[in-house]
């Protein structure tokens, strides 16, 4: 019983990490078809903003908010300066955002040095039988769930969501109906960046903030969104569920590196069987 609870907890933690790191990409890549290789660096910026805000005296929750807003604005800036010129040139987007990623890692290292900074989230522990679990991990699960619900509601039930989905589907038609497609693209990219910044902030008490941290997550995010397929939210959710289940079990019996490799292997085999991803056959939904 205790074993089962611990196992479920590990899978839950892994699941929330998968959701945190891939949700922003699900918006930017899954919805906008912009392959953003600087995604990991957005995460890193969020982590740093949160760390500095917290050290400046803001409490943890406000620091999360600050990270989300700051990285969201940064995302808008990136969209205006780089991405905007490259819509429809998917390979060039990939290369330019890779350049941005290297630039950010190099720039942040130059400015702040290579060391890892961290903040403590003193929320105590929860005892389960003989095990003690960090309470913060439950916060992480809560934020992941909240981000997911928020994105779903925004996309499915608000006017902005409707307009954004229409613009992604057919920008010409949307413009014809009086939508400012340019603005919608900018706002959507900013929203995805903000989600990523928030995720980076939430990860700080667990992983710390360091310039190369994005590297550890960007691979996870991409295989989740790609394996998810054309429905960004449901696909990401189901791929994250599958991968975190495997990840949780394998890292329990072996190590986290073996778990990463197993997840990659499963993802590649999955793409051989379902080339369009888990939701490849569905045409409706988000």
The residue ranges that bind another protein (CB under 8 A) are 35, 37, 82, 85-86, 90-92, 94-96, 98-107, 109-110, 215, 218-219, 222-223, 226, 255, 257, 260-261, 264, 267-269, 271-273, 275
Closer by beta carbon to another protein, 152 or else 252: 252
Residue 53 exposed, middle or buried by CB count within 10 Å (0-12, 13-18, 19+): buried
Q: How many residues does the chain have?
A: 286
Q: How far is the CB of 64 from another protein (least distance, A)?
A: 28
Closer by beta carbon to another protein, 100 or else 141: 100
Residues 183, 173: Cα–Cα separation, whole Å: 15
- CB count in 10 Å sphere of residue 141: 18
* 125: Cβ contacts below 8 Å, ≥ 6 apart: 132, 133, 134, 135
Please identify which residue in the block is written with the tokens 């957005």: 42
Angle value at C-alpha 262, between 21 and 283, nearest 5 degrees: 60
Residues 195, 8: Cα–Cα separation, whole Å: 26
Closest CA to 45 of 60, 27, 67, 25: 67
Q: How far is the CB of 189 from another protein (least distance, A)?
A: 17
Q: How far is the CB of 156 from another protein (least distance, A)?
A: 27
Q: How far is the CB of 66 from another protein (least distance, A)?
A: 26
Closer by beta carbon to another protein, 91 or else 127: 91
Instruction: Give the helix ranges, DSSP H, for the chain.
Output: 2-25, 39-55, 60-81, 90-112, 136-157, 159-169, 171-176, 181-207, 214-228, 232-253, 256-273
Closer by beta carbon to another protein, 37 or else 119: 37
Closer by beta carbon to another protein, 84 or else 156: 84
Q: How far is the CB of 91 from another protein (least distance, A)?
A: 6
Q: How far is the CB of 109 from another protein (least distance, A)?
A: 5
Closer by beta carbon to another protein, 96 or else 119: 96
């Amino acid at each position: 019983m205790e074993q089962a609870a611990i196992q479920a907890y590990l899978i839950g933690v892994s699941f929330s990490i998968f959701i945190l790191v891939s949700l922003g990409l699900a918006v930017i890549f899954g919805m906008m078809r912009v392959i953003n290789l600087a995604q990991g660096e957005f995460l890193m910026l969020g982590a740093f903003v949160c760390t500095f805000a917290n050290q400046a005296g803001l409490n943890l929750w406000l620091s999360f908010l600050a990270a989300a807003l700051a990285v969201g604005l940064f995302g808008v800036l990136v969209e205006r300066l780089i991405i905007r010129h490259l819509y429809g040139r998917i390979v060039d987007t990939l290369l330019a955002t890779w350049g941005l990623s290297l630039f950010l890692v190099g720039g942040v290292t130059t400015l702040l040095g290579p060391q890892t900074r961290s903040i403590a989230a003193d929320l105590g522990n929860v005892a389960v039988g003989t095990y003690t679990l960090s309470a913060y991990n439950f916060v992480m699960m809560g934020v992941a769930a909240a981000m997911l619900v928020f994105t779903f509601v925004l996309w499915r039930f608000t006017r902005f969501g409707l307009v954004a989905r229409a613009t992604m589907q057919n920008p010409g038609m949307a413009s014809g109906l009086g939508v400012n497609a340019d603005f919608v693209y900018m706002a959507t990219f900013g929203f995805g960046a903000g989600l990523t910044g928030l995720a980076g902030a939430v990860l700080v008490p667990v992983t710390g903030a360091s310039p190369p941290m994005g590297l550890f997550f960007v691979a996870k995010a991409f295989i989740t969104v790609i394996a998810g397929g054309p429905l960004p939210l449901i696909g990401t959710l189901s791929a994250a569920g599958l991968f975190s289940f495997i990840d949780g079990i394998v890292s329990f019996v072996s190590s986290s590196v073996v778990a990463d490799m197993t997840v990659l292997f499963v993802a590649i085999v999955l793409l051989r069987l379902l080339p369009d991803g888990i939701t490849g056959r569905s045409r409706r939904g988000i």
